[in-house]
């Protein structure tokens, strides 16, 4: 595999396709260029994926994210492009792309886009946070 930026997303078979599970990834150093000024824009990209038959290979994802570094793109366009490219590559049951753009001109911008596979229904959410923070009680 190359070590140069690439729009190619490599995949591998989901090792547990019979189960819904959540893959959470963060790309804290995403960069592209402002299409109007050519100045760099910086973002933290967060991916939340419930895979179906395929998963994205991490090194190819890194090189894919790196491929935007010298491209001009509005925040909304690049966030939607990432979603579209990942859906085309892995056809997930669910995918959320959250782009948290760092301050530019005194304004923070968050762009959130989602894909849901037709007919897929998520299992009810189980929230264990309260359990994790609970203080032990005396017998």
Mapped onto helix, strand or coil, the DSSP state of residue 138 is: coil
Query: Could you say which of 34, 48, 52, 85 is catalytic?
Result: 34
Instruction: Report the C-alpha gap between 7 and 82 in whole angstroms.
Output: 10
| 41 classed as catalytic | yes
CA distances from 66 to 21, 71, 126, 133, 134 (A): 27, 10, 35, 38, 41
Residues 65, 30 contacting (CB under 8 angstroms): yes
Query: Could you say which of 20, 32, 41, 70 is catalytic?
Result: 41
Residues annotated as catalytic are 34, 41
């Amino acid at each position: 595999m190359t070590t140069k930026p690439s729009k190619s997303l490599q995949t591998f078979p989901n090792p547990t396709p019979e189960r819904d599970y959540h893959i959470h990834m963060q790309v804290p150093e995403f960069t592209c260029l402002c299409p109007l000024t050519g100045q760099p824009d910086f973002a933290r990209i967060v991916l939340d994926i419930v895979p179906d038959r395929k998963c994205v290979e991490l090194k190819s994802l890194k090189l894919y994210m790196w491929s935007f570094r010298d491209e001009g793109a509005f925040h909304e366009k690049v966030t939607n492009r990432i979603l579209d490219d990942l859906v085309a590559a892995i056809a997930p049951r669910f995918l959320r792309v959250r782009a948290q753009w760092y301050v530019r001109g005194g304004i923070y911008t968050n762009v959130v886009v989602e894909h849901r596979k037709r007919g897929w229904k998520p299992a009810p959410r189980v929230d264990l946070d309260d359990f994790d923070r609970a203080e032990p009680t005396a017998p």
